[in-house]
Each structure stands twice: as C-alpha cells, then as structure tokens.
Amino acid sequence: MKLTFTDATLVRNGKTVLHPLDLELTERRIGLIGANGSGKSTLARMAGGLIRPSEGAVTVAGYDTARDDKAVRRITGFVFQNPDSQIVYPIVEEDLAFGLKERGFAKAEHRKRIGNVLDRLGITDLRERLAHELSGGERQLVALAGVLVTEPELLILDEPTTLLDLRHSRRIANHIAALPQTVIFVTHHLDLLVDFDRVIVLDDGRIIADGDPANAIAAYKRAMI
C-alpha cells in the first residue's frame, strides 16, 4: 500500500488549510500529530478521498482520489472522532453489517466477520444492544468495529480513542499494531505512537517534523512550548 501527495493543497474560504504537501507514505503504521486546528483531520480526510485537494493530487494504492473516488472508498476505512454520527443503524449487529451490505457481501460472511471483529475488540456482549443505550466509549468501539469489519487495506483513524478508558485505548493500540493493513492514526495520545514506523507533525497546515516517533514527538513538544 502506497499513498502519495503531490503538491496537494487545500484552500477553504480563502484560507490555506494545508500548504502544498509532498509525501510518499509506504510505512505500515503512520502517526499524525499536531496542535488543534493544525490540519490533521483535513490531511486525514484527504488521504481517504473524502475531500479532494484544491490543487495537486493524492493517490491511494495507485488510485487518484479525485478520479477514482469509489475505488479509494472501497479499500479505505475511516473512523472519526464522534461515534454518534458514524453508527447508522439502531442495533450494534445491524450497524456492523452496513458496510458489508453496501459492498455486496453474502449474509453468511456478515455473521462470520461480525462475530470475529466483536471478539477481537472484546465487545461480544454488545452485539444485540441498542446503539443509543451504550456509553460513549462503547459507541467508539462499535464505530471502530463497523470499519474493521470491512477489512480495509488502508485504515484512517481520527482520534478514535478520546472517549476510551486506559484499558480500551491500550487494547485498541495493541489491536492496531497487530493489523496487517496500513494505518494512519491521528491522536493527541502520544504514548500510543511509540512503536509506530513513522510520525508526522503538523503545525498551521505545514509539516514541521517527519520521522521516527522519538524524534518527531520531541520536535512536537519543542514546537508547543
């Protein structure tokens, strides 16, 4: 899996949210950190093809996100910060089936995969619960499960652990570490990134550091003083 940004720029309402970016991402675990409003979510959305660059191009596994957006969406999974807007069916089990149904998987495959992902995240007991009766953290886990169940080749996570307790965010971090897919992980929990292959630091729409976690996190801390 390879992601490329070629002079990718984003201008919104006359404001440059992302300055021209040139990136080639081939690592399996990529962390994205930076201050509030620095452009992390914007960059993540762009990588997943949810927004197109105003200028330049972004490709995911060779697909141009502007031209082949359906192909990009098919292989990309996206978890946002607010789980409420991502759970679209009232019952957990049915919600997990949504992405599978849209991708045309057979019912038997639904059952197998759903059982599997619930088990891996340790939330089998939530299977038949109503989404609106779950706690915030439980909903965040369900939102994550709904994306993992489609087994995307590229997984983009935008602060998916903000509502989770220590045990669950640790569990998710471990789970992500064991996934075979490419993961882009936006977070303010720096300790979740220590084993990552690459960490990118954004500030005001520009990359100010990019490298191994220790150096990148140190640069981020320096920039925040």
Interacting residues toward another protein by CB under 8 A: 2, 4, 48, 50, 59, 61-64, 67-68, 70-71, 73-74, 76-78, 80, 82, 84-91, 94, 97-99, 101-104, 128, 130-132, 146-147, 150
Q: Tell me 130's DSSP state.
A: B
CA distance 19 to 144: 30
Binding-site string for ligand ATP from residue 39 to residue 78, where x marks contact by CB under 6 A and - marks none: xxxx------------------------------------
The site that binds Mg ion (CB under 5 A) totals a number of residues, namely 1
* Position with the least CB separation from Mg ion: 41
- Least distance from Mg ion to the Cβ atom of residue 120, Å: 26
Q: Of 65 and 150, which CB lies nearer to ligand ATP in the complex structure? A: 65
Q: Of 71 and 208, which CB lies nearer to another protein in the complex structure? A: 71
**Residue 7: CB partners within 8 Å, gap ≥ 6?**
20, 21, 22, 55, 56, 57
| Residues 153 and 181 sit within 8 Å (Cβ to Cβ) | yes
41 interacts with Mg ion by CB under 5 A? yes
Q: Which two tokens stand for residue 97?
A: 């089936």
161 interacts with Mg ion by CB under 5 A? no
Q: Where are the extended beta strands (E) located within 66-127? A: 76-79
Number of helical (H) and strand (E) elements in the chain, helices listed first: 7, 10
